[in-house]
Amino acid sequence: MGLIVQKYGGTSVATLARIKNVADRVIKEYKKGNEIIVVVSAMGDTTDQLIKLIKGISSNPNPREVDMLLTTGEQVSIALLSMAIHDKGFPAISLTGSQVKIQTDDRHNQAEIMKIDNSRLRTELDEGKIVVVAGFQGVNSQDDFTTLGRGGSDTTTVALAAAMKADRCEIYSDVEGIYTTDPRIVPEAHKLEYISYDEMLEMANLGAEVLHPRAVELAKYYNLKLYIASSFNYKPGTIVRGVEEMEKRKNVTGVTRDEDEVKITMQGVPDQPGVAGRLFTALAEHDVNVDMIIQNLEYNNMNDITFTINKENLVRGKKVIHEIASKLGVKKIDIDKNVAKVSIVGAGMISTPGTAAKMFQVLGEEEINIQMITTSDIKVSCLIEKKYAEQAVKAIHQVFELGNAEDVEEKAR
């Protein structure tokens, strides 16, 4: 018995039948004597549809009104889920972010949660109700609706679990857990029993698209264990938790691929102090995130600087790059979209020499050229030509023996 916070993503509540299925799953835990808070996303692709409506009416919509509209998606799903629970003979109440008092800052469309007042939740739970809360939304200091950015329901869930000191925080969607790599590419990919927050963050940022990175950061901050599993079956999922609990680690936990980066090469950059600082400060000031960076010395006091940015930032990035390039007297700029980043992630990597070398070697054996490399304590990334991305992931996954179920379970234990 305890307090459980569960979240069901858009796919899990996409149809009325699925909402009824969620009601059954929630009631199952309730009947065991648990207190339940359920966070839901909007049904299916509702949020995308709402965004389409906005685009159809205005090219420069007022952010407050955008949130007014977007929050309706979750309001539909909480009401329907609550009704479904009633129909099965159990007490439930739906609450919006504003009714719960999920207090956020004023940044419409990308607000951050500042504080959660748990008194209403506590009262409803004490009355024996299952509480159904709208994900992705909060309320600002003016009592206006705010939203937390796409995928924000995960963040709502973790924040509620932390505020309520929940015993369990469970995130259900259409994926069964976190895999060593994308099972659609590598059928031998294995579902991990455990993964650390930092590894999960890398996997999420590197395109594993399972859990919102901000939710993982929050969970890490509160040291809150997350259970990731499917809402369509009862197969065991993956637990996201701190690394210190893991006694035995193999060096590599997973392999990821990211095809959202663009490589920019600036040729003939003057080799003077402050140049890199000016370039990357200008990019930062325009909110262009830079990922990988290489600088090499060329000729006549000139450098080549190569870096990658997210393709979402390309239009803005290009403008900044051209401006700064003309100021610095850069000779040539080359933009290459035909790249992919493949990475190995693992909390044990730092204490295992030769891990990076093994990755480079297997890419060499596959005759895949490495264009850029970056490393951190828990990951090694290589930028390669896009058409080789899947081949690289397969080969790396195999060389680190991640497909071997026993190995993976051993590692996780």
> What is the smallest separation between the CB atom of 155 and ligand ASP, expressed in angstroms?
8
Q: Which of residues 295-334 bind ligand ASP (CB under 6 A)?
A: none
**CA-to-CA dists, residue 126 to 27, 116, 246, 274, 331, angstroms:** 16, 18, 36, 61, 69
**Residue 168 binding: pick among Mg ion, ligand ASP, none (C-beta 5-8 Å cut-off by kind):** none
Decide: is 135 part of the binding site for ligand ASP (CB under 6 A): yes
Residue among 6, 33, 39 at smallest CA distance from 128: 33
Compute the radius of gyration of the chain from its Cα atoms. Answer: 24
> What is the smallest separation between the CB atom of 12 and ligand ASP, expressed in angstroms?
10
> What is the smallest separation between the CB atom of 43 and ligand ASP, expressed in angstroms?
9
* DSSP β-ladder status, 137-139 and 145-147: antiparallel
**Residue 136 binding: pick among ligand ASP, Mg ion, none (C-beta 5-8 Å cut-off by kind):** ligand ASP
As given in the structure block, the two tokens for residue 196 are 């650390």
* DSSP β-ladder status, 194-196 and 238-241: parallel
Conformational region of residue 124, where left means phi above 0, alpha means psi within -120 to 50, and beta covers everything else: alpha
Q: Which of residues 7-46 bind Mg ion (CB under 5 A)?
A: 10, 41
Decide: is 153 part of the binding site for ligand ASP (CB under 6 A): yes
Q: How far is the C-alpha of 280 from the C-alpha of 286, rounded, in Å?
A: 10
Stretch that binds Mg ion, among 4-12, 111-119, 170-178, 258-266 (CB under 5 A): 4-12
Buried b (16+ CB within 10 A) or exposed e, 209-232: ebbbbbbbbbbbeeebbbbbbbbb
Q: How far is the C-alpha of 335 from the C-alpha of 211, rounded, in Å?
A: 31
**Residue 135 binding: pick among ligand ASP, Mg ion, none (C-beta 5-8 Å cut-off by kind):** ligand ASP
What are φ and ψ of residue 6, in 5° steps? Answer: -120, 145
Q: Site for ligand ASP (CB under 6 A): which residue of 4, 22, 36, 42?
A: 42
Nearer to ligand ASP, 54 or 333 (CB): 54
Decide: is 150 part of the binding site for ligand ASP (CB under 6 A): yes
**Residue 254 binding: pick among ligand ASP, Mg ion, none (C-beta 5-8 Å cut-off by kind):** none
Q: Contact, 42 vs 136, CB < 8 A? A: yes
Decide: is 137 part of the binding site for ligand ASP (CB under 6 A): no
Nearer to Mg ion, 41 or 103 (CB): 41
Decide: is 177 part of the binding site for ligand ASP (CB under 6 A): no
> What is the smallest separation between the CB atom of 374 and Mg ion, expressed in angstroms?
30
**Residue 251 binding: pick among Mg ion, ligand ASP, none (C-beta 5-8 Å cut-off by kind):** none
- Residue 54: CA atoms inside 13 Å, Cβ hemisphere, count? 17
Q: How far is the C-alpha of 382 from the C-alpha of 369, rounded, in Å?
A: 9
Decide: is 73 part of the binding site for ligand ASP (CB under 6 A): yes
What are φ and ψ of residue 345, in 5° steps? Answer: -125, 135
**Residue 152 binding: pick among ligand ASP, Mg ion, none (C-beta 5-8 Å cut-off by kind):** ligand ASP
**Residue 177 binding: pick among ligand ASP, Mg ion, none (C-beta 5-8 Å cut-off by kind):** none
Positions in the binding site for Mg ion (CB under 5 A): 10, 41
Positions in the binding site for ligand ASP (CB under 6 A): 9-10, 41-42, 47, 73, 135-136, 150-153
